[in-house]
Structure 1
Amino acid sequence: MPVWLIPIVYTLGSLVAALALPRIEHALDLPLDLGISAGSALAVQSAIASGMMALTGIVFSVAFVMLQFSAVTYSPRFASRFARDPVLFHALGIFFATFSYSLAAAAWVDREGSGRVPAISSAIAVAMLFVSMVTFGLLLRRLGDLQITNTLRYIGDQGRDVIKQTARSLAPWSGARGGDRATQPAPAPVTQVLRHAGSPRYVQRYDIPRLIGLAQGAGACIEVECAVGDMMMEGSVMLRVRGGAGTIPEAALRGAVRLGADRTFEQDPKYPLRLLVDIAIKALSPAINDPTTAVQALDQIEDLLRRLARHELEDGRLADASGTVRLVFPTPEWEDYLALAFDEIRVFGATSVQVMRRLRSALVGLAELLGEHERAASIERYLRHMDAAIEHSPFDEQDRAAARQEDPQGLGLTR
């Protein structure tokens, strides 16, 4: 359900309850008495209704100001997550429901001058007020996630989850890796080309089982030309089908690639790294000048790279149960991850001794983790590149010597 429908559902539900419950109480003539006069009950419900509208306006004005602040300070791509957070809209729905219910239920107090107070309906209005107060506290705690430490940890957690899930989801079809267990025939001629039609959209995920099933059913191999996270524009090639005995329905092929207005974490380990780098380089801009935030971002970046370093990265070829390659798609290599994670921070942090030391610490730690693995050679080349950049930096000799020392805290603990 779209998040904007949540407050509407709460409001309609509260109006139905406010119109039905007093009628049921009146029809049953229940012998319940709250011990308050009709005037007092009317004042209480009127105060709840008017107070909830004022509270809603104040709370959500502050919430969206904080969202705007986070978009400027961190990254607009990350702040949009809170703008679409279901918790925010559930809180708005509860506030609307409390206002609507109290206002509608107040119409049944002293109905036709009877002096009667619907006991159950009035008690529910007060209970909804307490629920709204609890929701208000939870909403404030949710907005506390906009603090930089919580923001970086959330992005890091999303990255760790997507790395784990991607490795697990691709495992059943990874027999094609290296060509040892897969049949590798000569490339067949292209029999179908699928192009994007419509407004620009990002590739959010592949439906891998469906694509392999379609290719296997047609006896073909599907080459995916768009990587997860790519922007598809009018006429962009999405898929190519090679070989096969028949034509795969275009609707089935389009349905196997999900497009959306924004990039998502799903199937895209590059995206959390992209967000962390965005936050780091924005912190390093002259307008903000906050290298410590960049160091905190590097803490999460190093952890993600350590996890990627322990995984055998996919070569973009997946096979069916018989070992025949059915799906080919673009995948990043280890050097691509290194460049994404460190290049921009290295460039924008070139004048910060703290950032240089933290970068060296991350690279040395990765080299130690990889040991004799071939990926360690890429780390060594990157370290030499960093040393050359430090040598040509505007630092004096003493600062250059300090910048060449790795420090997991940036500044404070040389090792």
Structure 2
Amino acid sequence: MPVWLIPMIYTVVSLVCATALPRIEYGLALPFDLGISASAALAVLSSIASGMMALTGIVFSIAFVMLQFSAVTYSPRFANRFARDPVLFHALGIFFATFTYSLAAAAWSDRGGSGQVPAVSALVAVALLFVSLMAFGLLMRRLGDLQITNTLRYIGDQGRAIIGQTLATSAQGSAGRGGSRAVEAPSPGAVTQILRHAGPPGYVQRYDIPALIGLAQGAGARIKVECAVGDMMMDGSVMLRVLGGAGTVPETALRKAVRLGSDRTFEQDPKYPIRLLVDIAIKALSPAINDPTTAVQALDQIEDLLRRLARHDLADGRLADAEGVLRVVFPTPDWDDYLALAFDEIRVFGATSVQVMRRLRSALRGLAELVGESDRAEGVQRYLEHVDAAIENSAFDERDRAAARQEDPQGLGLTR
């Protein structure tokens, strides 16, 4: 459900309740008495309604500040976390509900000069006021997530979750949520169908793996997906090709199997959390901010994600049906792609920081120790030599070069 509907639902429900509950009270002549005059009850309800309008304005101001802060300080792509935060919209919904309910309840106080007060409705309005204050407190608490440590941990947690879901499943012999790895890959034949994107640009957010395998199996064909998760699809871009087969695969079903959206998401995309962490690191290394310690903290999370990737068999993008026949092929990043994404930009923009160079070398040494003698060791060693060459060709003097060549998980903590 779109998050913007949440306040609307709260408002509609509160209006229905504010219309029905006082009528029920008057109809049943409930023997409840608050012990206050109708004018006092009217003043209380009017104060609640007017106060909630001011509080709602404050909440909107906080929301805009949160979005601006996260976009400028961290990454524009990370601002979506707050722009779509359900807590924000539930708080707004509670504020709207309190305002509309209190206003409607006030209209029933001393109705027709009767001097009567709808006691239950008035108590509900006061209860909604306390709920609104609690929601406001929770919203203030959510501001604590803007601290850099909490932000980096959140992105790291998202990355760890998607690595565990996607790559661990692939390592067990299935890919995503269906299919198995093909042992043999006979030639599928010529291209029989090409699907191109039609419409506004959109990011590839996920593949529906079971649907793709089922479509390919039903047509006796192989589907070669040309777009990787995270790619931007332009009008006319080739999304996939169907190879071989006895018939035409329904185009509508193929389009549904590749979900597009206006933004990249963490789903099926282990590269995206690394991308966000790198964005935060290089922004911290910009001359306008000059905060290498934040870059070091981002590298802490990046190294942890790479360590988890190093322990998994990365998906090869070749999926078979239950009989072991290769049905779907799609592009996936390899180990060198992850290394380049994680370190290239930080190495370039952090070349003037001894702290960042020391932390980079520490991360690479740790990865080298973890991968041991596997085929990934060559990529780590090659990248370590690249970092050493960058230090050698930097503007550092000899003492700074010697310091930058030391590994230190803290950046500038202690000599190991």
Same fold by TM-score greater than 0.5: yes
Greater alpha carbon shift after TM alignment, 124-133 vs 134-143: 134-143
Query: Where does residue 298 of structure 1 map in the other structure?
Result: 299
Deviation, structure 1 residue 176: 6.6
Give, as a single letter, the amino acid of the residue that structure 2 aligns with 1:48: I
Query: Where does residue 224 of structure 1 map in the other structure?
Result: 225
Q: 1: distance between equivalents of 2:204 and 2:70?
A: 26
Contact 1:71 1:78 in 2 (8 A): yes
Contact 2:173 2:180 in 1 (8 A): no
Contact 2:180 2:322 in 1 (8 A): no
Q: 2: distance between equivalents of 1:267 and 1:224?
A: 15
Deviation, structure 1 residue 222: 0.3
Residue 30 of structure 1 aligns to a residue whose secondary structure is: coil
Deviation, structure 1 residue 143: 2.2
Residue 71 of structure 2 is aligned to residue 71 of structure 1:
yes
Query: Where does residue 411 of structure 1 map in the other structure?
Result: 412
Residue 134 of structure 2 is aligned to residue 134 of structure 1:
yes
Q: What stretches of structure 1 of length at least 5 have no aligned partner?
A: none
Contact 1:176 1:182 in 2 (8 A): no
The aligned runs of 1:69-218 (5 Å cut-off) are: 69-170=69-170, 171-173=172-174, 182-218=183-219
Query: Where does residue 309 of structure 1 map in the other structure?
Result: 310
Deviation, structure 1 residue 65: 1.3
Query: Where does residue 334 of structure 1 map in the other structure?
Result: 335
Residue 341 of structure 2 is aligned to residue 351 of structure 1:
no
Deviation, structure 1 residue 60: 1.9
Give, as a single letter, the amino acid of the residue that structure 2 aligns with 1:212: I
Contact 1:166 1:267 in 2 (8 A): yes
Q: What are the Cα deviations for residues 110-168 of structure 1, in whole angstroms up to 9, with x where unaligned?
A: 11111111110000000000000010011111122121111110100000011111125
Contact 1:98 1:125 in 2 (8 A): yes
Contact 2:188 2:221 in 1 (8 A): no
Give, as a single letter, the amino acid of the residue that structure 1 aligns with 2:84: R
Q: How many residues align?
A: 412
Deviation, structure 1 residue 245: 1.0
Query: Where does residue 41 of structure 2 map in the other structure?
Result: 41
Residue 59 of structure 2 is aligned to residue 30 of structure 1:
no
Residue 274 of structure 2 is aligned to residue 273 of structure 1:
yes
Query: Measured at CA, do residues 372 and 382 of structure 1 come closer, stay the same or move farther in structure 2, by a change above 3 Å?
Result: same
Contact 1:203 1:228 in 2 (8 A): yes
Residue 361 of structure 1 aligns to a residue whose secondary structure is: helix
Deviation, structure 1 residue 62: 2.3
Residue 301 of structure 1 aligns to a residue whose secondary structure is: helix
Query: Where does residue 246 of structure 1 map in the other structure?
Result: 247
Q: What are the Cα deviations for residues 277-323 of structure 1, in whole angstroms up to 9, with x where unaligned?
A: 00000000000000000000000000000000000011111111111
Give, as a single letter, the amino acid of the residue that structure 2 aligns with 1:12: V
Q: 1: distance between equivalents of 2:392 and 2:169?
A: 45
Query: Where does residue 233 of structure 1 map in the other structure?
Result: 234
Deviation, structure 1 residue 187: 4.0
TM-score (norm 1): 0.97
Residue 108 of structure 2 aligns to a residue whose secondary structure is: coil
Q: What are the Cα deviations for residues 50-99 of structure 1, in whole angstroms up to 9, with x where unaligned?
A: 00100110122023112201110100110122111121111101001000
Give, as a single letter, the amino acid of the residue that structure 2 aligns with 1:344: E
Contact 2:188 2:243 in 1 (8 A): yes
Contact 2:59 2:92 in 1 (8 A): no
Over aligned residues, Cα RMSD in angstroms? Answer: 1.2
Give, as a single letter, the amino acid of the residue that structure 2 aligns with 1:121: S
Q: 1: distance between equivalents of 2:314 and 2:115?
A: 75
Give, as a single letter, the amino acid of the residue that structure 2 aligns with 1:198: G
Deviation, structure 1 residue 172: 4.9
Deviation, structure 1 residue 169: 4.7
Give, as a single letter, the amino acid of the residue that structure 2 aligns with 1:277: V
Identity %: 80
Contact 1:201 1:262 in 2 (8 A): yes
Query: Where does residue 12 of structure 1 map in the other structure?
Result: 12
Deviating runs (4+, > 6 A) in structure 1? Answer: none
Greater alpha carbon shift after TM alignment, 304-313 vs 111-120: 111-120
Q: 1: distance between equivalents of 2:40 and 2:169?
A: 62
Contact 1:38 1:110 in 2 (8 A): yes
Query: Where does residue 374 of structure 1 map in the other structure?
Result: 375
Query: Where does residue 393 of structure 1 map in the other structure?
Result: 394
Deviation, structure 1 residue 377: 1.3
Q: 2: distance between equivalents of 1:362 and 1:4?
A: 42
